[in-house]
Amino acid sequence: MSQTTPATKTCIKLIMLTFDRNSEMREAPLAEFDLDRGIWILPALSEQVIQLIRSLDVVYGKSRTFLIPGQNKNKPLTMHALNRFVRRLNDKMKVEHFTPHDFRRTGSTRLSENGVMPYVTEKMLGHELGGILAVYNKHDWIDEQLVAYTLFSKILKDELLKG
C-alpha cells in the first residue's frame, strides 16, 4: 500500500463520503470548491470532506488545477490508478469485490436506513428527481444534504471504531 499516493487515498475517501462518481471527483477543478463556505457547486461539504481537501493542499499545493491531481499536478488522477488501489484494498481486506462506484449505492442505502429522505439522497447522487417532483419542486435541499453528509461521516467513523 505504500506505493499509493495521497491523492489516490484521498480520492477514495472523498468518493466514499460524497457518493460522487469517480470521474467527477477525479476530474473536478479545484476552483469549484469553496472550503470556507463548505460548498462544491451542488453538494454541501461536510467538515470531514473539507479536512481531506485541505490535506491535499498541504501535499500538492493550492495552485493545482484539479482537486485530485495525477502524477502531473495539471492532470487529474487516472481511473487506472484509482481502480488499481481499490483492487489492492479488495485483496488486502479479503472482501467481496467492490468498485469505487459501489460507494454510491452503499451511501444511499445507509442514509435511507437512518431516516434520510430519498429526494435528499437522489440530489446527493446528482440524479434528477422524477415525476411531479421534477416539474414542481426545484429546491436543492442543500441544508438537508449537509446534514446527511455529516451523518454519513459519523456512520463511517462509528463503523471503523467497531472494527
Tens digit of each residue's pLDDT (9 = 90 or more) over 90-107: 888 887 888 888 889 999
In a domain, 138, yes or no: yes
In a domain, 77, yes or no: yes
Residue 1 pLDDT > 60, yes or no? no
For 145, the domain range is 6-162
3-state secondary structure of 1: coil
61 close to 101: Cβ distance less than 8 angstroms: no
CATH of the domain at 144: 1.10.443
In a domain, 45, yes or no: yes
In a domain, 155, yes or no: yes
Encode pLDDT of 36-88 as tens digits.
988 887 666 788 889 999 999 999 998 888 989 998 878 999 989 988 988 88
> If you average pLDDT over every residue of the chain, what do you get?
87
The DSSP result for 35-69, as a single string, is TTTTEESSSB--HHHHHHHHHHHHHH-TT-SBSSB
Nearest-angstrom CA–CA distance, 5 and 57: 14
Residue 112 pLDDT > 70, yes or no? yes
How many structural domains is the chain composed of?
1
pLDDT band at 118 (very low <50, low <70, confident <90, very high): very high
Ramachandran quadrant class, 19 (left: phi over 0; alpha: psi -120 to 50; beta: rest): left
In a domain, 130, yes or no: yes
